[in-house]
Structure 1
Amino acid sequence: MYAQALKSKQKILSVAPMMDWTDRHCRFFHRQLTQNALLYTEMVVADAAIHGDRQRLLGFNDAEHPVALQLGGSDPEKLVRAAEIGAAFGYDEINLNVGCPSDRVQSGTFGACLMKEPDLVARCVKAMQEAVDVPVTVKCRIGVDDQDPEEALDRLAYGVFAVNADALWVHARKAWLQGLSPKENRDIPPLDYDRVYRLKERLPEKFIGINGGIKTIEEAEQHLAHVDGVMLGRAAYQNPDILADVDDRFYGARTPAPDPFEVVEMMAEYVRDHLTAGGRLSHVSRHMIGLFHSRPGARAYRQILSSEATRPGAGPEVLLRAAEQVRVAAQAPAA
């Protein structure tokens, strides 16, 4: 069903792959807020997928579908093996990272470094396409360092689409591999949405998605007038309640938006199972800090989760008590 949506260029909203954030607990939580948005894993290095603890790195809950596995690497043979493993796990898409600017990916010659090697990216995509039956996509920047974004993005895009990549997601800013930290690379290079729009105009039959600095559902709708998909990053993580409008606004689901208090109750059940399996409350609750963003009582909610969820023996009652602070504040008479 998801693969068909890509082929028909249906509008897609997704939550970006974010290192240290979009783990399986985060994705399960986001899925309680939207049944339709495409969710992404954190980047998993191909070597880790091949040689590491696969269940820990790649395991996910069936409720997360549609969910995509993002891989990092530049060796076609290793990427093929990792893609095959991911497809066997049941992922709906395999995505190649050509955008991460961290020191770790630079030393490994993958991530944003690959913007300088579009032919190698195309070989990697072609190899994975021939190995798996699920969509193979790419996430990139508009360029790196002193590259001309007009030339760099076109070369990469035309190269990967020539070998039948199913989609290209573009973070609409450069990455500076020298001189800026990974954090600075998320904010300092200026956004150039028009560059991504021009790419879509040049490739009207291809699926082009946009990412970078998109803060609201309203902004996402504006971008969808120009491209096929929108990827929300930190906005969805820090204020996850915005995902509650996704199914209605983008997928035509005529159902009420999820109630955040009911979401907390569902997550409390999830936490019970996680604790039984040997996990800790904080593994889950850290992703829920922003659920009641800007609502009365949100500060007390955050304080309880931040101070109590890491304590030994903390359980789902901490989640429920934190949410109760918001419920009480909402019922309090106006001053």
Structure 2
Amino acid sequence: MTQLSEEELKAVVNAVQTDSTERRPRAGIRPVRGIDLTERASSAAASMETMNLIITGTLREHLTSFGDDAKGFELVEMTGAEVQDSRVSLVSGGGVAFVFNAHGETSILSIDLVMARQLGRVLLGDRTPLNESEVPPPLARSESRVLERAIKVFLVKLATALHVPSPFEVLKTEAIGPRLRLSLPAAPMWCIRFVHPETRGNICIAFPYELARRTLSEAKPISVPKDLPSRKRYQSMVLDTDVDVIAVLGRANISLEEWLQLKAGEVLLLDRLSTATLDLLVNDNKKYECEPQVDTGKVTVKITQIVVDPNAG
């Protein structure tokens, strides 16, 4: 099962611990081209970091769901940057772009040719490693078709994880040439780039800043205890922020409303759920017991009791 690294855990905790007396930008949000983003970043940084976490976790789990052959393609580097230029090259050396729609906002997922070639081989069962110095040939038609299907499945998973009312609609798929620049629909865009550690192939997801704000606008304020809950695996734990529960809904196949209506004694089977992610889910007033199924990579979650919040109005 996918586990978050210590650095990722610290980054998330730092992002969601918001000091109401001090307004300052968080990691991953920085001024761009002389535009002061401090005020905007201080109020939305936690939401953006949560968005980063959700997208990162969903993409990683989607890749590992293809089986052992895809393990070498887990992406370990993530950088966030706000893009002000409405025309920006999201890939170098050519690649494939998937333009999709969510909440009425147009977003883009682009894959450069190196990464597309890697994923195409994996999805077609080719175990031959891609030589680092090899110039990747254009994608074969069979690779393009299977890659497009895989990306569409990923976008559906991401829509569920982000609690988008309806799945992302893929508007078009287009090839990007080495010298062509892909026009972004609007600025500013928030870009998250994932880089493969060996081949430096990359996947970039670009979406309007307002989409992230709208997606997470109804979430409750995030609060994390000073002492992070023990990361001992599969122990009972209290999760109390439904913002982060959104990140695991895709594995539960239920909506946020259904999640919040679950009663004590009910059992869920979550596919490939990271227990490190569970440790981070800290306000939906439920107590859980987790039991692993090592062979299948699934986790059974049983709600043992509803925790009464003494501070609840």
What is the TM-score when the length of structure 2 is the normalising length?
A: 0.25
Higher helix proportion, which one? 1
Higher-RCO chain (CA-CA 8 Å, sequence separation at least 6): 2
Higher strand proportion, which one? 2
